[in-house]
Structures are given as structure tokens and as C-alpha cells.
């Protein structure tokens, strides 16, 4: 139990010059502290494994810092469950998530990429020539599993306007009762001015912002993660034109079998999560 408690502390709190603890260092420190006379790293690993303790692993995390986090996130979560101000959406109302994937490079490898073979993985040359970069603007219809995309030289208000035009010029959005646009707080679509701008472009469009640092609430980010794994990794393109063609070809192919994402996270889950984090927020870390 003392060894497990040791593994559940930060190295700096133990006076150790590490960012993470290995099983070997835990064993050494346990001996130095007199917990045991001797112990091997394998024994430490076996003890920790019983409780799924892995101090050598870590996960990046962004703490909720928006003072209205729950309020703003709740609105987005309600839309995913087809609610607006507690009232169910009409059949001719739609929810679209939009964002941009920036700085997608075209990296032309200096040697040809080799396909996998028996007993060996594919091979990708480490060195490459940069052939430019582009931004991929995308909009995802949450409940219809429809994806719309454009490639731009950069991000900004005008590129965002063009992806909005690309969606709203088509049916059923053009004649919809309302189309809710879920976006983050990027400079292309930030704040009240962006909401007013969108309504000026299309009176039936309503912009809804996620809280600050909460892109995980935007469903288009799930699609971007699929694009990153399936299309952009490894990055081996001869030109930006090839990147653009690959993105659009994948977009068409993906949509042929796409289904709405199974989004089960609700206001109740959000409230429970925020309650769980209440005692570990950054304000307490700073105060300490």
C-alpha cells in the first residue's frame, strides 16, 4: 500500500528530479525511504498493475475557465439532443457544427513511400520538401451526417463566410426555419459581432458559441480527427492540389456510409463532471 501511495504522488512532491515516475525509480525510492529492504521494478509493476496505476503515463488536459461554461455548454448539448430553450426543434430546423483545420502542409518526401509487405510496415522517408499549406474549412450536419468542405489559403471572416454560403445556398438549409451554427471562439467567428454578421448574411441562421477552450464540444472536431488519421497521416503529398483533391475525395467517400455520431454526453453528465473537477481547478493550483 505504501508503494502504491508513492506511485500516486508527483515526483516533485517527493523531491525527485523527474517529470514522471518509472517503476525502477519507484523501487529505488521505496528502498531509500526504508519502505522495503529491496524490491525489483518488476514487483512494483505487478503491484501497481493490480490497481491499474501507471504513473509513467499522462494525459493533457484543459481546465474549464469560462465563468459561464456550464450555461454555454448546456446550450450546445441541448442542440445535439434537438432542444432549444427546452423546446424540441422542428423537423425543418438543423444543427451544423463548423470549424477550420489550419496549416495542413503538403510534405513531398525526398524518397518514395514504400507500401507494407510481409513482416514489415510501410516506410515513409523522414526528410521532405515543403510544398505550402492550406486551411480546410468544414461544416458537419449533426443529425443528417452531411459534411461540407472548402480549402482556403488562410482562415478569416471571408473564408468562414464562404463555407456558410456553401451550406446555406443548398436545400434544405436555404428554406429551413432555422439553422444553428455551432462554432468555437476563433478569430474568424468570435463574439457578438460574428453572431450579428451571420444573421445579416442569412436571417434564418443562428450562431451558438462553445465555451472558451471547449472545442471538444464541437462535433466537427470528431470528423477532423478522422481526417487526420485516415488522410493526413503519414503526410506525403507532391502539391497542395493533391492535398485538396484527397480531402474532397475522402469527404465524398466518408459521406456514403456516414452516420450521426452517437453523442450521449448530456447536461447531467456535464454537471457531474464539473462537480468532480471543482476541487482540482487551476485556481487551487495557483493558490497552492
- Per-residue model confidence as pLDDT tens digits over 50-101: 999 999 999 887 788 888 999 999 999 999 999 999 999 999 999 999 999 9
Cα–Cα distance measured from residue 234 to residue 228, given in angstroms and rounded to the nearest whole number: 9
Cα–Cα distance measured from residue 150 to residue 182, given in angstroms and rounded to the nearest whole number: 17
SS (H, E, C) the chain: CHHHHHHCCCHHHHCCCCCCCCHHHHHHHHHHCCCCCCCCHHHHHHHHHHCCCCCCCCCCCCCCCCCCHHHHHHHHHHHHCCEECCEECCCCEEEEEEEEEEEEEEEEECCCCECCECCECCECCCCEEEEEEEEEEEEEECCCCEEEEEEECCCCHHHHHHHHHHHHCCCCCCCCCEEEEEECCCHHHCHHHHHHHHHHHCCCEEEEECCCCCHHHCCHHHHHHHHHHHCCCCCCCCCHHHHHHHHHHHHHHHHHHCCCCCCCCCHHHHHHHHHHHHHHCHHHHHHC
Q: Which three cell numbers stand for residue 189?
A: 467567428
Q: Of 123, 95, 125, 96, which is closest to residue 108 (Cα–Cα)? A: 125
The CATH class given to the 69-267 domain equals alpha beta
Cα–Cα distance measured from residue 152 to residue 37, given in angstroms and rounded to the nearest whole number: 64
- Are 188 and 157 spatial neighbours (Cβ–Cβ below 8 Å)? yes
Burial of 157 (0-12, 13-18, 19+ CB in 10 A): middle
Looking at residue 96, what is its pLDDT? Answer: 98
Looking at residue 287, what is its pLDDT? Answer: 40
Looking at residue 262, what is its pLDDT? Answer: 94
Q: How confident is the model at residue 119 (pLDDT cuts 50, 70, 90)?
A: very high
What are the pLDDT digits (tens) for 185-222? 999 999 999 999 999 999 999 999 999 989 899 999 99
Domain ranges of the chain: 2-50, 69-267
Q: Is the pLDDT of residue 288 over 50?
A: no
Q: Which three cell numbers stand for residue 275?
A: 462537480
- If one compares 131 and 285, the residue with the highest pLDDT of the two is 131
Q: How many CB atoms lie within 10 A of CB 237?
A: 22
The full length of the chain comes to: 288
Q: How many CB atoms lie within 10 A of CB 269?
A: 11
Cα–Cα distance measured from residue 223 to residue 8, given in angstroms and rounded to the nearest whole number: 35
What are the pLDDT digits (tens) for 220-234? 999 999 999 999 999
Distance, C-alpha 121 to centroid of its chain: 28
Looking at residue 64, what is its pLDDT? Answer: 84
Looking at residue 286, what is its pLDDT? Answer: 38
Cα–Cα distance measured from residue 150 to residue 173, given in angstroms and rounded to the nearest whole number: 17
Tally of CA atoms within 13 A in the half-sphere of 86 that contains its CB = 0
Cα–Cα distance measured from residue 137 to residue 123, given in angstroms and rounded to the nearest whole number: 30
Amino acid at each position: 500500500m505504501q508503494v502504491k501511495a508513492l506511485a500516486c504522488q508527483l515526483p516533485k512532491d517527493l523531491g525527485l528530479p523527474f517529470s514522471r515516475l518509472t517503476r525502477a525509480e519507484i523501487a529505488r525510492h521505496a528502498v531509500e525511504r526504508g519502505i522495503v529492504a529491496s524490491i525489483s521494478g518488476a514487483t512494483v509493476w505487478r503491484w501497481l498493475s493490480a490497481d491499474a496505476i501507471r504513473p509513467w503515463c499522462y494525459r493533457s488536459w484543459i481546465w474549464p475557465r469560462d465563468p459561464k461554461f456550464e450555461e454555454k455548454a448546456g446550450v450546445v448539448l441541448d442542440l445535439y439532443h434537438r432542444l432549444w430553450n427546452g423546446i424540441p426543434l422542428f423537423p425543418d430546423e438543423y444543427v451544423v457544427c463548423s470549424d477550420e483545420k489550419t496549416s495542413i502542409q503538403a510534405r513531398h518526401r525526398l524518397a518514395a513511400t514504400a507500401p507494407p509487405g510481409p513482416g514489415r510496415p510501410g516506410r515513409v522517408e523522414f526528410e521532405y520538401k515543403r510544398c505550402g499549406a492550406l486551411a480546410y474549412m468544414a461544416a458537419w450536419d449533426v443529425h443528417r451526417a452531411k459534411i461540407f468542405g472548402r480549402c482556403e489559403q488562410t482562415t478569416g471572416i471571408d473564408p468562414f463566410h464562404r463555407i456558410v454560403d456553401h451550406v446555406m445556398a443548398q436545400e434544405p438549409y436555404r428554406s429551413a426555419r432555422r439553422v444553428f451554427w455551432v462554432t468555437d471562439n476563433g478569430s474568424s467567428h468570435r463574439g457578438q459581432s460574428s453572431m450579428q454578421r451571420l444573421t445579416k448574411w442569412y436571417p434564418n441562421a443562428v450562431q451558438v458559441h462553445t465555451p472558451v477552450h471547449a472545442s471538444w464540444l464541437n462535433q466537427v472536431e470528431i470528423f477532423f480527427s478522422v481526417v487526420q488519421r485516415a488522410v493526413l497521416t503519414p503526410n506525403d503529398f507532391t502539391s497542395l492540389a493533391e492535398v485538396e483533391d484527397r480531402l474532397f475525395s475522402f469527404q465524398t467517400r466518408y459521406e456514403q456510409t456516414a452516420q450521426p455520431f452517437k453523442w450521449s454526453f448530456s447536461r447531467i453528465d456535464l454537471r457531474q463532471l464539473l462537480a468532480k473537477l471543482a476541487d482540482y481547478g487551476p485556481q487551487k493550483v495557483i493558490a497552492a
